[in-house]
């Protein structure tokens, strides 16, 4: 093959083009590979940067939360450091000491000179024995206030704010005494703690515990009237048994308006502006000879929860009554609250069962307040109260006496009927004829019982009223230095089972007057009974004489004012029965009954009276007698057929 010059040049150019294209292709692939590598590296860097930013953000948030927790822990740690101190607020009636520890009321003193302790000084309801702790449930940490130290601020004579620093905010408890009252407002509010609590948090827990001081001389008697009392949102007031019987959460049917730690004459009542959700109520009674009781009666404990705004926009508000269990005082202080609910704080003064309660609330209280307003000795008030009540029931007593007197003057006629039917099988006929006689003469053997039964509610009403009347507290009369507790002029210093360490003279006098009254009553009944009835009543008479002796062992520890009332009431009853017996002429009374019998016989021509009680009893007896006769006839016919 012959190559010329042009062919060689063409081949060389073609080779150069081919090698140039191949080089270019390789160069382009390398560049693309390099570009892809750069792009991958760029994307990796970008992803790394993105991950780093998220990590930085997360790290920043964690750091901020850690700083907040650390800050909170730091402030709570500082709040646990002792910062001893107290702040005193007071009004005309009440002096309260607020302790930095727990930011709570540590001492309560009544300034009213009307109320004195046993030594003649001011009444102090508690001084270090009360513990009122609040538990706030945070996201990472819980706050238990009674373990921490608050700082007082904005203090003046009647109010103070106790502040607990937490993280960047605080928990503030503001106490404000209402003027001329036993009421203190307590507002609980958080500030600047929105991130500290969960959004689901809407309550905080309260644990209230106190050792109740013995304020009165009678340990057992004061214990009997000391207990935890509460009122539900359904306007129902209830209490624990004074002897015990704790209650747990599942035993409460409703939420509560208020809870009270009560002794015989003084109380602390915690009132929620909205409501409490109860968890448990408990009390423990000290034994008389317990060396650790240190002049205390019981230990009360209440656990409940209250509504709470974690944003701090709204305060949780409470009111607390710290004062005497005086009906009128409780009623006046409740009016100051301007609460639309029926709190009925005065229901803490126990006045008895429903019927008895109404007698005391709408009669005895007004009568008692009216007489105490005279400014006379309280012993004289009780004597006058006895006389007024006796005048009120005198018509009933006279009616009862006259009923017995009619039975007494008709007794010879009853004895004749008894002689007419001596056989036991004629008992029905004797009873029927006796009731017919009573009906003819207008006598009623039951007439003496009903008036006496009507008096029983008044007797029971005063049994509940007098021991709860704080007006008797510290008031002396004759040998009794305090009418609200037992008189112990005769005492021996050693407690003996069943009688104690003293002998109450008023109790002994009451028992004697009761025996005398029983003797008069039994003598009057004896004059109206047949020999058979008298024999049947012997056991009843024996029990009537024994009852005052049995009651003595209980009433020896009771209020001397109550024993004074019962003694004077029994003495008055004896004098009234003696007077009625002296002024009743049996012959005139019998003549009056004979005239009534003749008038009925003439006007009715032998028609029986069935409208009166005796007429109805007679009709029932006759019907029963007829049924018995028919049964006997049927039995005789069956025997004849056989």
pLDDT digits (tens, 9 = 90+) for 487-541: 988 888 787 887 888 899 999 999 888 888 888 777 766 666 666 666 666 676 6
398 and 300 fall within a common domain: no
453 and 322 fall within a common domain: no
576 and 518 fall within a common domain: yes
CATH of the domain at 169: 2.70.98.90
Tally of structural domains, the chain: 2
Evaluate whether residue 613 is within a structural domain.
no
pTM: 0.76
Helices (H), 247-377: 327-337, 354-359, 365-372
Res 60: pLDDT: 43
Evaluate whether residue 609 is within a structural domain.
no
294 and 408 fall within a common domain: no
Strand, coil or helix: 27: helix
Which segments of the chain have a pLDDT < 50?
1-3, 35, 45, 49-50, 52-53, 56-57, 60-70, 605-611, 614
Domain boundary among 290, 320, 350: 350
Res 31: pLDDT: 52
Res 610: pLDDT: 45
209 and 331 fall within a common domain: yes
172 and 201 fall within a common domain: yes
Evaluate whether residue 312 is within a structural domain.
yes
The neighbour count for residue 13, using CB atoms within 10 Å, is 10
559 CB-side CA count, 13 A: 29
SS (H, E, C) 166-178: ECCEEEEEEEEEC
413 and 342 fall within a common domain: no
Res 10: pLDDT: 59
Q: Give, as one character, the DSSP assignment of residue 625.
A: H
**Residue 633 CA: distances (Å) to CA of 139, 269, 428, 621, 630:** 93, 75, 17, 18, 5
386 and 287 fall within a common domain: no
- The residues with which 142 forms a beta bridge, in sequence order, are 137
Which residue segment(s) compose the domain that 526 sits in?
A: 368-599
Evaluate whether residue 258 is within a structural domain.
yes
- The residues with which 206 forms a beta bridge, in sequence order, are 134, 304
Tokens of 319: 């009111």
Domain boundary among 307, 323, 350: 350
Res 438: pLDDT: 75
454 and 592 fall within a common domain: yes
396 CB contacts (<8 Å, ≥6 apart)?
451, 452, 454, 455
Strand, coil or helix: 266: strand
Res 287: pLDDT: 87
336 and 373 fall within a common domain: no
- Say if CB 556 and CB 499 are below 8 A apart: yes
Domain boundary among 285, 320, 350: 350
449 and 331 fall within a common domain: no
Res 49: pLDDT: 45
Res 628: pLDDT: 62
- Say if CB 517 and CB 577 are below 8 A apart: yes
Determine the angle formed by the axes of helices 427-441 and 613-641, rounding to 10 degrees: 160
Res 117: pLDDT: 82
329 and 245 fall within a common domain: yes
CA gap 293, 129 in Å, rounded: 12
Res 50: pLDDT: 47
CA gap 101, 86 in Å, rounded: 9
CA gap 464, 469 in Å, rounded: 9
């Amino acid at each position: 093959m012959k190559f010329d010059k042009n062919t060689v040049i063409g081949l060389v150019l073609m080779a150069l083009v081919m090698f140039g294209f191949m080089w270019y292709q390789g160069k382009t692939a390398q560049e693309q590979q390099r570009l892809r590598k750069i792009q991958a590296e760029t994307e990796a860097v970008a992803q790394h940067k993105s991950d780093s930013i998220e990590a930085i953000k997360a790290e920043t948030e964690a750091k901020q939360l850690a700083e907040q927790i650390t800050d909170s822990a730091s402030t709570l740690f500082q709040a646990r450091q002792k910062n001893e101190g107290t702040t005193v607020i007071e009004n005309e009636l009440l002096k309260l000491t607020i302790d930095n520890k727990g930011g709570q009321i540590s001492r309560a003193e009544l300034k009213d000179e009307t109320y004195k302790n046993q030594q003649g000084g001011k009444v102090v309801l508690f001084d270090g024995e009360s513990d009122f702790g609040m538990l706030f449930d945070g996201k990472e940490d819980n706050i238990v206030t009674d373990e921490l130290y608050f700082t007082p601020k904005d203090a003046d004579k009647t109010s103070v704010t106790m502040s607990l620093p937490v993280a960047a905010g605080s928990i503030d408890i503001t106490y404000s005494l209402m003027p001329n009252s036993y009421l203190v407002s307590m507002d609980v509010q958080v500030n600047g703690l929105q991130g500290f609590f969960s959004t689901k948090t809407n309550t905080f827990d309260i644990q209230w515990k106190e050792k109740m001081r013995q304020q009165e001389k009678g340990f057992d008697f004061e214990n009997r009237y000391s207990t935890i009392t509460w009122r539900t949102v359904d306007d129902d007031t209830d209490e624990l048994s004074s002897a015990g019987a704790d209650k747990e959460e599942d035993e409460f049917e409703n939420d509560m308006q208020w809870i009270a730690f009560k002794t015989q004459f003084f109380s602390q009542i915690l009132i929620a502006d909205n409501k409490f959700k109860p968890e448990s109520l408990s009390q423990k009674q000290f034994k008389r000879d317990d060396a650790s009781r240190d002049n205390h009666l019981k230990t009360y404990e209440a656990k409940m929860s209250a509504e709470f705004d974690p944003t701090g926009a709204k305060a949780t508000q409470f009111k607390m009554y710290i004062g005497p269990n005086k009906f009128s005082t409780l009623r006046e202080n409740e009016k100051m609250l301007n609460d639309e609910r029926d709190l009925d704080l005065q229901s803490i003064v126990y006045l008895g069962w429903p019927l008895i309660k109404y007698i005391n609330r709408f009669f005895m209280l007004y009568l008692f307040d009216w007489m105490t307003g005279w400014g006379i000795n309280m012993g004289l008030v009780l004597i006058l109260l006895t006389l007024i009540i006796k005048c009120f029931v005198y018509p009933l007593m006279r009616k009862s006496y006259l009923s017995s007197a009619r039975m007494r003057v008709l007794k010879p006629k009853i004895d004749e009927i008894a002689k007419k039917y001596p056989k036991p099988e004629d008992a029905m006929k004797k009873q029927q004829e006796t009731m017919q006689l009573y009906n003819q003469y207008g006598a009623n053997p039951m007439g003496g019982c009903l008036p006496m039964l009507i008096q029983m509610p008044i007797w029971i009403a005063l049994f509940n009223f007098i021991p709860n009347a704080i007006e008797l507290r510290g008031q002396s009369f004759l040998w009794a230095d305090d009418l609200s507790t037992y008189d112990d002029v005769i005492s021996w210093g050693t407690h003996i089972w069943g009688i104690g360490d003293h002998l109450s003279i008023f109790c002994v006098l009451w028992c004697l007057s009761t025996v005398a009254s029983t003797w008069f009553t039994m003598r009057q009944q004896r004059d109206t009974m047949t020999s058979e009835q008298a024999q049947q009543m012997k056991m009843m008479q024996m029990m009537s004489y024994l009852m005052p002796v049995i009651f003595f062992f209980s009433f020896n520890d009771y209020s001397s004012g109550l024993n004074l009332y019962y003694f004077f009431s029994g003495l008055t009853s004896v004098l009234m029965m003696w007077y009625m017996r002296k002024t009743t002429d049996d012959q005139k009374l019998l003549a009056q009954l004979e005239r009534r019998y003749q008038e009925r016989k003439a006007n009715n021509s032998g028609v029986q009276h069935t409208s009166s009680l005796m007429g109805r009893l007679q009709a029932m007896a006759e019907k029963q007698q007829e049924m018995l006769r028919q049964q006997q006839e049927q039995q005789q016919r069956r025997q004849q057929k056989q």
